[in-house]
């Protein structure tokens, strides 16, 4: 008997969800920063096979209350609406407790659907889309070969909200390099202020050496930001975001300040204060925290106050400096970040 097919990726927030693979890979697969599905050829799974997986998952999970499910891989919204409706119906029939069915969705896949199609999908249970807008700057979208522009990002976000779907937008801090850092912060906030998504999920960029962006770093056209510069970019971004009912979250281990999360209407100032607390540290403590975070010694800013963790981070920092006194910490931290995705 064929094994149930599971794809390689899901959003961090879907760690407890049932995974149903409807496509393999990403049909675009051309973003210059992304290596997630590079080794995979895109294909749509035959519908009978996917529905059979749903039935078998239901048998395996008999007696368990399954309430959430994520449709894999990179952009299930690229599928025809009829196909998706059949999948959603099969999920609902086999999992009567299902409350959330979620999927990645490229902005241009959302805008290719009509408002009526999005509403039909929502009514059939698809109620949360994760969309990787990455940035609100047209220049950066072009630089990273995202394949759509900011108008499409804004239109898609508004369409998803109009269809009453929960919308998560993924943002990449540092994706414009030093050159376009301010533009990334300001223009991304401008787009999000219009969309007002339910979740703003920020990730620090980790550039893989073998990616096209890695080439840009080597040829000098893209300058990596230090961890501190990415935090400064985050501060400007957060300042520009309106106080709206969106939940802002640093949810991935790749981010330096994991405690910066909260509702923008009620907790924006608290989040900015946390960022300021980091930026106000003496230079050597900022570096220590950064290196300690990247080595998984520290997780939260308060860990700096724990003597045993502080000592361990200091020991590791000294070892790094004794081996290479001229170490480029921006490059070193980027190296660690890219290894975490």
Is position 214 an interface residue for ligand SF4 (rule: CB under 6 A)?
no
Among positions 37, 199, 216, 278, the unique one binding ligand SF4 when judged by CB under 6 A: 37
Q: Work out whether strand 23-24 and strand 43-44 pair parallel, antiparallel, or are unpaired.
A: antiparallel
Q: Where are the alpha helices (DSSP H) in the chain?
A: 47-60, 81-94, 107-111, 115-123, 138-143, 150-162, 181-195, 212-219, 227-240, 264-279, 283-294, 307-323, 329-339
Is position 143 an interface residue for ligand SF4 (rule: CB under 6 A)?
no
Q: How far is the CB of 256 from ligand SF4 (least distance, A)?
A: 22
Is position 34 an interface residue for ligand SF4 (rule: CB under 6 A)?
yes
Q: How far is the CB of 134 from ligand SF4 (least distance, A)?
A: 7
Among positions 4, 5, 6, 29, the unique one binding ligand SF4 when judged by CB under 6 A: 29
Residues 67-126 that bind ligand SF4 (CB under 6 A): 74, 106
Helix/strand/coil for 218: helix
Residue with Cβ nearer ligand SF4 (77 or 304) = 77
Is position 28 an interface residue for ligand SF4 (rule: CB under 6 A)?
yes
By residue count, the chain amounts to 341
Residue with Cβ nearer ligand SF4 (29 or 223) = 29
Among positions 18, 19, 20, 31, the unique one binding ligand SF4 when judged by CB under 6 A: 31
- Name residue 53's beta-bridge partners: none
Judged by CB under 6 A, which stretch of 21-29, 39-47, 238-246, 314-322 contacts ligand SF4? 21-29
- Supply the DSSP symbol for 281: S
Judged by CB under 6 A, which stretch of 27-35, 160-168, 197-205, 312-320 contacts ligand SF4? 27-35
Helix/strand/coil for 199: strand
Which residues lie below 8 Å from residue 33, measured CB to CB, with a gap of 6+?
134, 144, 172, 175, 205, 207, 208, 211, 212, 213
Residue with Cβ nearer ligand SF4 (34 or 129) = 34
Is position 132 an interface residue for ligand SF4 (rule: CB under 6 A)?
yes
Judged by CB under 6 A, which stretch of 28-36, 150-158, 172-180, 293-301 contacts ligand SF4? 28-36
b/e for 217-243, b at 16 or more Cβ within 10 A?
A: beeeebebbbbbbbbbbbbbbbeebee
Rounded distance between C-alpha atoms, residue 171 and residue 189, angstroms: 10
Judged by CB under 6 A, which stretch of 31-39, 90-98, 271-279, 283-291 contacts ligand SF4? 31-39
- Give residues in contact with ligand SF4 (CB under 6 A): 26, 28-31, 34, 36-37, 74, 106, 132
């Amino acid at each position: 008997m064929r094994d149930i097919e599971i794809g390689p990726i899901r959003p961090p927030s879907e760690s407890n969800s049932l995974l149903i693979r409807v496509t393999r890979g990403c049909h675009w697969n051309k973003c210059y920063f992304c290596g997630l599905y590079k080794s995979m050829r895109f294909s749509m799974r035959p519908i009978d096979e996917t529905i059979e997986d749903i039935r078998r998952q239901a048998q395996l999970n008999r007696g368990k209350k399954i309430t959430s499910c994520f449709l894999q891989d990179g952009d299930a919204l690229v599928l025809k609406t009829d196909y998706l409706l059949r999948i959603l119906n099969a999920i609902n029939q086999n999992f009567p407790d299902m409350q959330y069915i979620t999927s990645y969705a490229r902005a241009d896949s959302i805008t290719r659907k009509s408002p009526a199609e999005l509403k039909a999908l929502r009514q059939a249970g698809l109620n949360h889309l994760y969309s990787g807008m990455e940035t609100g700057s047209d220049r950066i979208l072009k630089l990273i070969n995202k394949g759509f522009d900011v108008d499409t990002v804004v239109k898609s976000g508004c369409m998803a909200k109009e269809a009453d779907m929960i919308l998560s937008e993924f943002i990449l801090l540092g994706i414009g390099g030093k050159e376009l850092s301010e533009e990334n912060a300001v223009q991304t906030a401008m787009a999000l202020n219009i969309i007002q998504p339910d979740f703003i999920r920020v990730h620090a960029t980790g550039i893989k050496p073998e990616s096209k962006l890695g080439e840009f770093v080597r040829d000098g056209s893209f300058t990596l930001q230090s961890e501190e510069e990415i935090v400064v970019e985050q501060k400007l971004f957060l300042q520009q975001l309106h106080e709206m009912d969106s939940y802002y979250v640093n949810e991935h281990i790749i981010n330096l300040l994991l405690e910066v999360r909260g509702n923008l209407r009620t907790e924006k100032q608290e989040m900015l204060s946390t960022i300021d607390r980091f930026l106000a540290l003496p230079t050597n403590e900022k570096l220590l925290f950064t290196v300690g975070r990247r080595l998984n010694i520290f997780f939260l800013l308060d860990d700096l106050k724990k003597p045993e963790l502080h000592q361990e981070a200091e020991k590791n920092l000294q070892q790094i400096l004794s081996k290479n006194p001229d170490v480029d910490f921006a490059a070193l931290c980027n190296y660690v970040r890219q290894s975490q995705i």
